[in-house]
A = this chain, B = another copy of it.
Amino acid sequence: MADNYVSIRNLEFLLHEVFEAEKLNRFERFQDYDKEGMNMALTAAKSISDNYLFPIYREMDKDKAYAEKGVVHVHPKLKDALKALADGGWIGAGQDYDDGGQQMPATLESAAQVIFNAANANAASYAFLTNGAANLIQSFASQELKDAYIENMYSGDWQGTMALTEPQAGSSLTDVGASATPTDTEGVYKIKGQKIYISGGDHTAVDNVIHLTLARIDGAPKGTKGISLFIVPKHRPENGELVNNDVITAGIYGKMGQRGYVAAHLMYGENDGTEGYLVGEPHRGLRYMFQMMNEARIGTGLMASGTASAAYYASLQYAQERPQGRHPDNKDPNADPVLIIDHADVRRMLLFQKAVVEGSVSLLLECSRLHDIHVGSTGEEAANAHLILELLTPIAKSYPAERGTDAVSAGMQVLGGAGYTDDFPLEQLYRDIRINSIYEGTTTIHGMDLLGRKVVMNDGKAMKLLMKEVQSVIESAMRHDRLKPRAEQLAGTCAKLGEITMSLFQVAAKEGPRRYLSDATMYLDYFGTTVLAWQWLKQAVTAAAALEAGATGDDKTFYESKLLTNDYFFEYELIKTRAWHKRLQQRDFMTVEMESGLLV
């Protein structure tokens, strides 16, 4: 097992030097958070991770979750891990002091989540799913419901879930069919239906499970405008007791990875005994759920980034310890072999991982900072931050998932045959990370969200605001000799991306949405890689300034490392936009025009 899984130095660099998170205390909400307090929180997060999460990462896979006689068993040490996270205040940390929260900035919370996820994304996910569910209740449910549920969720005794997917309704939530029939008591409904792939849906590490469930009130309109949100507990609290609420676990899924993180198949109301409690107003459920979904999208990005971080450090350690082969200019078999970290292609694979991990984390903290500005400020500042966040969300979810999967694969490749065996964590990390391209909307869905919705919303205002941010980084970079060529390169790519976007708008106008969106996944790659280059250049500007200011020792190494990885990103990743640009100029609409019958 590798010794290290995350760089705290990098998180501190991003928090304080790049994003100046402590300046969020200009908002009343975050006034108690200074640099020292933030670092203490990271230290606390690392300590929980070292003591409770990392040690059971491999065990939770080996002794995977299983269902027996209707009980879903999880690793016995998971309960302690969830308790440690809850006791540390990490569930509900972002909520108001008055509501039992810590008013923690999301920027800090996300940085901590990188640590938790790198240590053990599977254990951490239980807690952060509960966090998202509790936040949703906090935002939209009645005081009565809050009083009934939130405390036990914050304490880690009750699990929260998001119950959206049904057998016939996966990517298409329009087709959610679970039914909610009003009872004599206002706000109380009888729920019937099936939900599948419900993460954390049932398990022995908690006393109860609270399903934030989408269902359709009898007579509601079809489509997304007829979906309502309900709290559906596994056991309903009645007069201080927990009463069975007829939510049956039909089974759990056998998954390729994340085997310690349960995905359950639930049946509601098989015996007509499932009560659900309406959250907010009828028919507005999907709108509410988008709060949790957007959180979960950032959460997915954090999960992927954390997993890729663990892979990077495990493969780095191996590369630093494993001697093998000699350089191509030294064929002398009497010469000692070199460490594999000295081979060019191993370095490329390590740089790739580092570029993906640190670039992704940077983007995710950028998103969280925008969230904090949205929450902390008012008026145009809040609105603009929210717009940019909306635009970046599909990228912050998909880029870490897609490139993170590639990065872990590169980590496995560094180890060669050893990486394919369970003597090292790479094989589990490889299995685990792959789900992130599917969770919370597949990559395809996010491509369509980006091009079909986010780029065009408010007359393209989000994109204009984003490009202003990028331009400002480019201008800063132009002031550093070493970064000038990179700044010019990014400016060129942004111009090209703008061109392609404009030309796609013409496709939308002339050819309609199907053809407009036919290569949306590639557009997402193009846009996403450009956004990551912006994040890298932003880090590089900070690093260059620190070096010019005379950084020495480990700091000098750290900043030089940032500049090198920035170079790597531009030389090996950003160049891919050249290929995508070419394709996105084509107007054959091959995948729309073709007959499905030609797939033989």
A residues contacting B by CB (< 8 A) are 7, 9, 165, 168, 170-172, 174-175, 196-197, 222-224, 253-257, 263, 316, 319-320, 323-329, 331-334, 337, 339, 341-348, 350-351, 354, 405, 409, 412-413, 416-417, 419-423, 427, 430-431, 434-435, 437-438, 442-444, 447-448, 452, 512-514, 516-521, 557-558, 560-561, 564, 567-568, 571-572, 575-580, 582-583, 586, 588, 590-592, 594, 596-600
The chain B residue with its CB closest to the CB of A572 is B583
Interchain nearest-CB distance for A591 vs B (Å) = 4
A416 CB contact (under 8 Å) in B442, B558, B561, B586 = B442
A175 CA to B333 CA in the complex, in Å? 7
A416 adjacent to B598 (CB under 8 Å):
no
The answer to whether A416 touches B171, judged by C-beta atoms less than 8 angstroms apart, is: yes
Query: With A342-B596, A347-B594, A571-B588 given, can you name 11 additional A-B contacts, CB distance below 8 Å?
Result: A170-B324, A171-B324, A172-B326, A174-B333, A256-B421, A256-B430, A263-B417, A345-B591, A347-B599, A431-B431, A578-B579
Q: A448 to chain B: which residues have CB within 8 Å?
A: 328
Contact between B579 and A328 (Cβ–Cβ < 8 Å)?
no
Which of B420, B434, B517, B564 is within 8 Å of A344, CB to CB?
A: B517
Q: CB within 8 A of A222: which of B223, B334, B560?
A: B334
Which residues of the other chain, B, contact A417 by a CB distance below 8 angstroms?
165, 170, 196-197, 263, 438
Contact across chains for A598 and B438 when beta carbons are under 8 A apart: no
CB nearest to A558 among chain B residues: B600
Interface SS, A side: helix
Judge whether A337 and B172 touch: CB under 8 Å.
yes
CA distance A405 to B420 in the complex (A): 14
Contact between A444 and B345 (Cβ–Cβ < 8 Å)?
yes
CA distance in complex: A491, B56 (Å): 55
**Among A257, A343, A346, A354, residue most surrounded by chain B Cβ atoms (within 10 Å):** A343
Report A589 CB to chain B, min CB distance, Å: 8
| Contacting residues, chain B, for A348 (C-beta < 8 A) | 519, 521, 591
Check B598 against A325 for contact (C-beta < 8 Å).
Answer: no
- Complex Cα distance, B434 from A421, in Å, reads 12
Question: Contact: A557 with B600, CB < 8 Å?
Answer: yes
Which residues from B are CB-within-8-Å of A170? 324, 416-417
List B contacts of A413 (CB < 8 A). Answer: 437-438, 442-444
- Copies of this chain: 2
Contact at B599–A341, with CB atoms within 8 Å?
Answer: yes
A527 to nearest B CB, angstroms?
A: 16
In the complex, A222 Cα to B325 Cα: how many Å? 14
Least Cβ distance of A568 to chain B in Å? 7
On chain B, the residues within 8 Å of A517 by CB distance are 328, 344
9 residue pairs, one from A and one from B, having the closest CB atoms = A223-B333, A254-B422, A256-B427, A328-B513, A172-B325, A344-B591, A222-B333, A344-B518, A345-B444
- List, sorted by A's number, 28 A–B pairs whose CB atoms are closer than 8 Å: A165-B417, A170-B416, A172-B326, A174-B325, A175-B333, A222-B333, A222-B334, A253-B421, A256-B427, A328-B513, A329-B512, A339-B596, A343-B444, A344-B519, A347-B591, A347-B596, A347-B599, A348-B521, A413-B437, A420-B435, A430-B434, A431-B431, A557-B598, A557-B600, A561-B599, A564-B598, A571-B588, A576-B576
Q: Are A333 and B427 in contact (CB-based, < 8 A)?
A: no
Q: Collect the chain B residues with CB atoms within 8 Å of residue A586's CB.
A: 571
Are B444 and A333 in touch, CB under 8 angstroms? Answer: no
Report the minimum CB–CB distance from A225 to chain B (whole Å). Answer: 8
Known contacts A438-B413, A600-B558; is-contact A256 B431 (Cβ 8 Å): yes
* Pair A514/B438 contact, Cβ less than 8 Å: no
Q: Which residues of B contact A435 (CB under 8 A)?
A: 420
Within 8 Å CB of A443, what residues of B? 413
Looking at the assembled complex, report how far the CB atom of A539 sits from the nearest CB atom of chain B, in whole angstroms.
14
Asked whether B333 lies within 8 Å of A253 as measured between CB atoms, the reply is no
> What is the distance, in angstroms, from A61's C-beta to the closest C-beta of chain B?
11
Contact A172 B324 (CB under 8 A): yes
Cβ B557 vs Cβ A597 within 8 A: yes
User: A325: which of B171, B423, B438 is its contact (CB, 8 Å)?
Assistant: B171
Q: Which of A196, A334, A567, A599 has the most CB of B within 10 A?
A: A599
